Amino acid sequence: MPATCNLQLASMRNIFLFIRRFFNLLLFLALEGLAIYTLYNYNKTHQAFFGGIANEVTGVVSKKYNDVEYYFQLKKTNEQLAEENANLRKMLPGSFETADTAKTTYIDSLAKDTLGTRKFNFLVAKVVNNSVTQENNYITLHRGAQQGVKVDMGVIGPDGIVGKVIFISDNYSRVMSLLNRKSKVSAMLKKGLYSGELEWDGKDPSFLTLHSIPKSAKVQKGDTVLTSNVSEKLSFPAGLMVGRVEEIIADPSSNFLTLKVRSATNFYTLQYVYLSDNLEAAEQQQLESKTPKD
Amino acid sequence: MSSLLKNIIRFVFFILFQAYVLDKVPPLHEYVKPILYFLFILWLPFSLSRSLQMIIAFIFGLCMDYFTGTPGLHAVPCVLIAYVRPFLLNILVPQETTELSYAQPSAKSLGTMPYSIYVLILTFMHNACLVLIEWLQFGDFIFFIGKVAATTAISLLLIFVTEVLFPRKARFRTNAA
């Protein structure tokens, strides 16, 4: 009995000696492991681990920085907003000549509301942090859960789409920019309505790539690319401006084209964006998930 | 100023400088990206224990990560260079004399040549590790080689400029400090 006891003690002591001897190596491995774990489980564990505190803190610092930086871009921002206002004004009923209905008799047979129901709601948000130089770029907005932001909302700039909300804290939200290797948005050609996947190759912040457009599509340089009516997350209203085709690259081994698209949004000078909230997304997703998988 | 206070100021300054100055520079090319923030770890005092250095480096890297939005990406190379640093210093430094009389690594305390080698090796390791993580997710071998070479060259240039602009007084350590 005492012999085994001694043996156990000795082995215990050996373990402690081992830990003490290689403490630095073990600590190194533990810290690297922790870092790699956070890197690969970022989106899943972030909310649970840090509760958005880090997001709030970096958001406040970024807000301070942006308050200064914003002044240098006031003129450009103002022009952008004025131009957008002009475009919206063009759509007002007052800008159109009404049809002359005095001479024809017309019986309204529609006994229902032709205005339809609202599908999208828009919120305005200030960009407080934005990057274009990383491999994976993110944007911080000064508007969060308390102001009605939800995950998977689409983010739209004055000239075109910008990205998608990936997580939120109380007053700030983090957006995955289109300039992100993990970003995937469905977009379609205005001519022919062919849908494909919009990605970024990490090279130039003014160009995006549109994949899986069939070769049968008659694409030309300068064609308009819009947001698609079919998408998984249903973040964007269909038909929003994405960009214009700059170059057509045919892949000889497959039946698809890869298009280099000049982005409509200027990611260098983003100051105000709109968040699009799809009010019917949950209903559609619920219905689609019921599809039998056999 | 005490060494602790000085290092806390450096900690904040390097992160803000990287996040709000260097990361805002419009990209010249996909490979050319200025990285300077890890100089904080190169400048840590000799007197810290190895485990403490690694923990500081981990926190430092993670703070950097929260500004770029990629937790873990900068923490991995930071911990790596903090782990390698003492080994490298052991090889490069005549032990008995320097570590006892100087507070931190600099061109004056190590000598210009050994300090350059120290900076070169750690810069290369940091950037190689950082780009390797990116390479594992996407890109090809040319991307890896090109980006490591370009970022290391830019980092070395920036470190040189920083050393010239902000000469640190290589104070002797005294009993009073």
Residue A118 is given by DSSP the state -
- pLDDT higher than threshold 70 for residue A113: no
Cα–Cα distance, A277 to B34 (Å, whole number)? 37
Angle in degrees, 0-180, between the axes of helices B50-68 and A53-72, rounded to the nearest 10: 60
- pLDDT per position as a tens digit, B64-98: 988 887 788 899 999 999 999 999 988 887 656 55
Chain A residues closer than 8 Å to B58 by CB: 31, 34-35
The domain total for chain B is 1
Q: Which of B24, B58, B68 sits opposite A35 (nearest CB)?
A: B58
Cα–Cα distance, A264 to A207 (Å, whole number)? 9
In sequence order, the 6+-apart residues with CB closer than 8 A to the CB of B6 are none
Structural domain contains residue B176: no
To which residue do tokens 């001479």 refer? Answer: A103
Do A185 and A164 form a contact (C-beta atoms < 8 A)? yes
Superfamily per CATH, domain A185-265:
Rod shape-determining protein MreC, domain 2 (2.40.10.350)
Query: Mean pLDDT over residues B32-43, rounded?
Result: 92
Structural domain contains residue B171: no
> Model pTM?
0.77
Please tell me the distance in Å from B19's CA to the nearest CA on chain A. 9
Query: Mean pLDDT over residues B100-124, rounded?
Result: 85
Q: Which of A24, A202, A205 sits opposite B50 (nearest CB)?
A: A24
Q: Is A47 on the interface with B (CB under 8 A)?
A: no
Q: Where are the domains of chain A?
A: 185-265
**How would you classify the pairing of strands A120-130 and A272-278?**
antiparallel
Mean pLDDT rounded to a whole number for chain B: 86
Query: Mean pLDDT over residues A199-220, rounded?
Result: 89
Structural domain contains residue B51: yes
Q: Which residue of A has its CA nearest to B134?
A: A135
Beta-strand runs (E) in chain A: 120-130, 136-141, 154-156, 161-168, 173-180, 185-189, 195-199, 207-214, 224-227, 241-250, 256-263, 272-278
* pLDDT of res. A187: 93
pLDDT cut 70: percent of chain A above it: 87
* pLDDT of res. A227: 92
SS3 A278: strand
* pLDDT of res. A279: 87
Identify the band that residue B11 occupies on the pLDDT scale cut at 50, 70 and 90.
Answer: very high
Cα–Cα distance, A201 to A246 (Å, whole number)? 15
Burial class (CB in 10 A: 0-12, 13-18, 19+), A188: buried
Higher pLDDT among residues A61 and A46, named by residue: A61
| Per-residue CA distances from B70 to A84, A87, B82 (Å) | 33, 37, 20
Mean pLDDT rounded to a whole number for chain A: 84
- pLDDT higher than threshold 60 for residue B161: yes
- pLDDT per position as a tens digit, B133-159: 888 877 678 888 999 999 999 999 999
